[in-house]
Amino acid sequence: MAMTRREAFKTLAKGSLPLLAAGCVSTVLPEVAHAEEEKIEAPKGALGLLYDATRCVGCKSCMVACSQANDLKPDTTTDGIHQAPPALNYRTKNIIKLYRTADGSDHSYFKQQCMQCIDPGCMNACMFGGLRKDPETGVVWWKGTKCVGCRYCEIACSFHIPAFQWDGVNPKIVKCELCRDPIQKGLRKQPGCTEVCPTQAVIYGRREDLLKEAKSRIAANPGKYFEQRVYGEHDAGGTQVLYLSRVSFDKIGLPNVGEESIPSGLKYSHMLYKWLALPVALYAGMVAFAGKNFKEHSHHLVEDQKKTGLRPQL
Amino acid sequence: MTRWERSVPVYGIPVITRGFWALCALIAVGLVLTVVREVVGLGGSISGMSDPFAWGLWKTFNVMVLTGLGSGGFAVGIAAWVFNNKKLHSVMRVALLTSFLAYSTGLIMLGVDVGRPWNFYWVAWLPTWNLHSPLLEIAVCMSLYASVPLFLENLPPLFEYLIYEHPKWRGFALGCEKAMKSVYPFIVGLAYILPIMHQSSLGALMILGGNRVNTLWQTPFLPLLYVWAAAFLGYNCVVLCLLLAKLAWKRDLDPSVLLELNKLTVWTVYSWTAFRFLEILFRGKILHVFTDGYLSILFWVETALILGSAYVLSTEKAKKISTMFQAHAVCALGGMIYRFSPTTLAFHAKEGATYFPSAIELIVSLSFVAIAVLAYLVAVKKLAILPGSNEEWLKMAKYEEQAKPGIQLTGYAPVEH
């Protein structure tokens, strides 16, 4: 069938529509182009904690100090017992637990709070940036006006940190933000937990300095620390909160998650979306085939109508 | 046995039946409980969710599983329009309707599930989008799909209804139909690319679950397996709807179309299963299919249900309607379990943590399914959705023209190009 010039223009115009759309989308979404993964480094001024489980005496004063510093209401989730929560929750950003073997031969206290990942799963999961990383300090914090309450952050955190407020009409996501808010307001110099710790089991500072300190402790005490290494230096792509322990890390709530960050699992998916090229090409291809088949189908419908006298259906 | 030539409404049966009222009652209870949930929150006895199991039935079943079942619109559509499988045009309307109902109720369910829905308006403001988030991809793509291409694809039966039964609107409907025809390939293209994207992103969601999702399910290819499973679930759902129409309203069946759908189901399942096993093998985790206790059993249950029923569908036995029905139902069950497992059954949330839905979660979840079922039952009786023969249409026309004097269902439209 010969094509008139008019038809040719029409086809051309229709065919270029998807391309035009693609152009618009990739201009509006420049980040799509940068979807490829590279190892993410901690910001220069990254702040963090160093918790040495061998120094902790389990006094829980850090838990009280945390509640005070963050204006958290008393946690009475365990049968009304004050400040004895079984796990982190929306009223408890910091908790001290005890690992103990059944026969009591071995034990260790351990502290749990947000690990301030360098490449956080929660932040990658969050749709509109409700969880975000401070560009200077690397602290991961929650911005309520961008949070939809989908709780994907809880699924995406290997450390079980973000907690959802299950009651009420205005629920929040609660997690340790290294006392970012009170420190910014000038109300305090360091987080509640590190300020009160009587044995300096948990200390606050720049991640770089903390890492040095941790390594010097390992060097000074050969054989004392588990695997002679700092948990968080590389684990989960690196965290800003670092741990030293005598007992194995998985006994004190630090899962063996490997050195890849959680979001790096998505790198293949991101590749497929690079420049949105693949989806757009697929779309254009399907439109082309569907267009051709649609023409043929419409033709059949008209033929059928001539035969049956019934109105064609799309 | 007959040939499906056009869609014909179910006629001669009242819309309002006892079942209609039963569904309405369930929906009413569900809506009341939804209001309670909005006021009280998700804690206490409202839901069984907790911080370790932050996602419950509303996301994992109503969205993850049921939109898979509602994937007929794109799975059958691609076969029909892109791969030019002409037989399948007759069942497109059923596929599109089930898809639309599954997606729209799933999306509303999402709105009920999230804690701070008022912040969702950010979806309209591109700079806030976190392009790394699979959930963002789903939120954007799924709502776009349901509200634009899928919605438009479902309009022709409605236009037809206006053309035949409401002369006042006839001109308007004819105009809309014509406009739709001129851009139809662009609409269907969108209706296939968007589900491919978000159905795979549903799998990508659980990639961020890391090693808490058992290794038999957790893979970088989870997105591919999810969208693939959605395809055969879509075929299952469409066939089940067609066979149920036979059971409920004695609609005639066209064996050639059903066998075509069986064939598609069988090959989708075979390739899916082969890929799943090879992927586990090449990842070096094949021994886990025996060593992971009840999760290994779950893996084999999924495989047996899906693969076993596909095998039955590939044999001569499947020509028997009851066998075909059972095979598709079992296959759908297996596929639904597969889509559900990574989120809950094979998700090791935390030592000692368990999830079981609360009564309220269950009732609300079912009431949203009931909304879809009710809408389906009304739609197939009012609109030309279910496939039938031209003869059936003439019978229907005779019946309707007697019941409603003044309408004309045959010989109306002029031949046009």
User: In chain A, which residues have their Cβ closer than 8 Å to the Cβ of B184?
Assistant: 290, 294, 314
Pairing of strands A107-112, A95-100: antiparallel
Report residue B412's pLDDT band, with 50, 70 and 90 as the boundaries: low
- Looking at the partner chain, which of B47, B201, B350 has a beta carbon nearest the beta carbon of A160? B350
Q: Please give the mean pLDDT across all residues of chain A.
A: 88
Whether the CB-CB separation of A192 and A62 falls below 8 Å is answered with: yes
Kindly report, residue by residue over B243-258, the tens digit of the pLDDT: 999 999 999 999 999 9
Residue A145 in contact with partner chain B when CB distance is under 8 A: yes
Q: Is A191 exposed, middle or buried (0-12, 13-18, 19+ CB in 10 A)?
A: buried
**Which of A20-24, B184-188, B405-409 is most confident?**
B184-188
Kindly report, residue by residue over B342-377, the tens digit of the pLDDT: 999 999 988 888 999 999 999 999 999 999 999 999
Q: Please give the mean pLDDT across all residues of chain B.
A: 94
**For tokens 């909304």, what's the residue?**
B371
User: In chain B, which residues have their Cβ closer than 8 Å to the Cβ of A130?
Assistant: 119
pLDDT of the residue at A20: 52
| Amino acid sitting at position A215 | K
User: In chain A, which residues have their Cβ closer than 8 Å to the Cβ of B349?
Assistant: 160
Structure tokens, A287: 């439109």
Q: How far apart are CA B307 and CA B260, in angstroms?
A: 18
Sign of the CA dihedral with A262 first, then B58, B230, and B143 last: negative
Angle of CA points B319, B320, B323, to nearest 5°: 105
Q: Taking each helix axis as running N to C, give the angle between helix B18-40 and helix B359-382, from 0 to 180 degrees, rounded to the nearest 10.
A: 140
Residues 242 to 271 of A: which have CB under 8 A from any B CB? 255, 257-258, 262-263, 265-266, 268-270
pLDDT at position A27 over 90: no
pLDDT of the residue at B166: 86
Hey, which residues does A112 pair with through a beta bridge?
Answer: A95
Cβ–Cβ of A270/B211 closer than 8 Å?
no
User: In chain A, which residues have their Cβ closer than 8 Å to the Cβ of B114?
Assistant: 148-151
pLDDT at position A21 over 60: no
pLDDT of the residue at B416: 46
pLDDT of the residue at A270: 84
Helix (H, G, I), strand (E, B) or coil at A176: coil
Residues A234-248: what's their mean pLDDT? 96
Cβ–Cβ of A124/B78 closer than 8 Å?
no
